[in-house]
Structure 1
Amino acid sequence: MHSATPASSTPTHTPAHPQHRLSAKKFVRHFLEMVVVMAVGMVALHPVWRVVLDSVGASGLMRNPYTGALIMATNMTAAMSAWMRFRGHRWRPIAEMGAAMYVPFLVLFVPMALGLIDEAALMLWGHVLMLPAMAAAMLLRPYEYAHC
């Protein structure tokens, strides 16, 4: 009778967590994957928001710089979160990466409310600052991204 278990029960590959040498190439590749997925989410989900908001008579929310920025961050976060979950990430790093999408805009809301920057600067700098915020979230847990 054949056994359904392998001949040896000892693994040939040990878990990589503490001893794994971190790879800058994998880190950058994962970072770039998330940027691409975020852009896809931003483009793909924008029309959905437009249809939904138009249907309930709230299309002005898309034109408002504050809510428009939050909607855009939500589109990027939804796509990036789905991609991270697909890649096997835990919920905490996904939440941290999601925060990296919102925090730059939330911080910039203050100078915009004070009239120090305009809507164009909000959008530009919100997206620019998102990139180092994402890198910081990744550097909080480098081994989380080492397997990707």
Structure 2
Amino acid sequence: MRAPHTATTLGSTAPARDGPAQQMARFGLHVLEMCAVMCVTLMVTGVAVTAAAAALGTANPITGAPAASAAVATLALAGSMTAWMRYRAMAWHPTLEMAGSTIAAGAVMLTGYAAGLVPADGLVGGTCGLACVAMVAIMLFRFRLYASHAHHAASAH
């Protein structure tokens, strides 16, 4: 007798498709992983930028050079997301979508700052927050990719 969680094809067993609960759990775990990568990146980048600014005589780079700080944070987030997704064997298309969403978030926030709509002390944090929202939106658009076991290079399109 066949186990209820397997399906037989040509004499072999393969796991049955995951149900909605398993897909949601996997999707949620994937979101948490990517948020953790972004948060750790922002913390490490913040420490490095603050140390570099202190060495150059600037006490607080976020208020002393807010646009440069946001640009550095944007590039660091895009780079770490690219590295993490490639480490997880994701194909280039979804990897570039994620990196692009981070860069777009940075561009939106820097434009808002230049227009006087975003305060200097909210620029870096706002960039990270908007990048997270954009990341989740893209992940929802590709829910099956991020909720499946087979979310690696072969299933990117």
TM normalised by structure 2 equals: 0.66
- Counterpart Cα distance in 2 of 1:111 and 1:45: 22
**Could you tell me which residue of structure 2 aligns to residue 109 of structure 1?**
110
The CA deviation at 1:121 is 2.3
| Partners of 1:89 and 1:144 within 8 A in 2 | no
The CA deviation at 1:91 is 0.7
**Could you tell me which residue of structure 1 aligns to residue 145 of structure 2?**
144
Identity of aligned residues (%): 27
Name the CA shift for 1:79/1:108 in 2 (closer, same or farther; >3 Å): closer
Structure 2: 5+ residue stretches without partners: 1-9, 152-157
- Counterpart Cα distance in 2 of 1:95 and 1:35: 17
**Could you tell me which residue of structure 2 aligns to residue 82 of structure 1?**
83
| Partners of 1:41 and 1:78 within 8 A in 2 | no
| Partners of 1:40 and 1:79 within 8 A in 2 | no
Aligned length in residues: 133
Kindly provide the amino acid, as one letter, of the partner of residue 87 in structure 1: R
Kindly provide the amino acid, as one letter, of the partner of residue 75 in structure 1: A
- Counterpart Cα distance in 1 of 2:19 and 2:50: 45
Kindly provide the amino acid, as one letter, of the partner of residue 103 in structure 2: Y
- Counterpart Cα distance in 2 of 1:124 and 1:47: 14
| Segments of 4+ moved more than 4 angstroms | 19-22, 45-54
- Counterpart Cα distance in 1 of 2:125 and 2:42: 15
Cα RMSD (Å): 3.1
The CA deviation at 1:10 is 6.4
The CA deviation at 1:25 is 1.1
**Could you tell me which residue of structure 1 aligns to residue 127 of structure 2?**
126
| Partners of 1:41 and 1:76 within 8 A in 2 | yes
Structure 1: 5+ residue stretches without partners: 1-8
Which structure carries more strand by proportion? Answer: 2
